[in-house]
Amino acid sequence: MMSVMSIEKIVEQALQDGYLTPVMEAEVGRICDNASELSIEEYMALDRLMGALLTGDVVAVPRKQFINVMEELVLTEAIARVAEIEATSESSLDVGDIAAYALNRLPPLYATTEEGANYQRQRAKAEMQELIAQQVSAAISRNLDRPNDGTPVGGGKPTGNEVLRQVSTLLQAYAPHFEEKSQSS
């Protein structure tokens, strides 16, 4: 039997480590979805895991327990610059491509709490705003200079609605509290 990782092994690992990671959780879900019937051993292992989760002996690690403030800052800069360029030219740019290019050239600024994120935000605005702007500019230049053979990295020339959707998706992924924050300030 070709097994990536069995339910029993995953539960054993979780009990040993005290943590159930998102990858482990997804693998258990995949096994359960694909199995027509679980064995007694698998049911017993799942029962042990449920018990350990309920008692706190095993903690489920949330998917995203930290945020990279640099992503938020780069996205804000990229969105503003792309909007300026698209308003004054026929150029169409992919915010995701631009943000990824700039992020690969900037240091991450991780935080696990809102206070930590605020600290990182203030620090980055004071010390790195110029560097962020330079990297976003470089990303835009690179994006604009790419020969347009009809198939940009994004897979086609995005319409206004697609750009809006990209921005919305990126904001939801990278700055889930962005809306709350901008309304309270």
What are 146-177's pLDDT values in tens digits?
765 544 444 444 555 566 665 665 555 555 55
- Give the bridge partners for 53, in sequence order: none
Q: 54-85 pLDDT, tens per residue? A: 998 998 877 767 888 899 899 889 988 988 88
Q: Of the candidates 100, 112, 105, 99, which has an alpha carbon nearest to the alpha carbon of residue 68? A: 112
Provide the 8-state DSSP code for 61: P
Q: 101-148 pLDDT, tens per residue? A: 999 999 999 988 888 989 999 999 899 999 999 999 999 999 888 765
- What pTM does this model have? 0.52
Rounded Cα distance between 164 and 179, Å, is: 15
Six-digit token pair at 128? Answer: 């790195």
**pLDDT in the model for residue 106:** 94
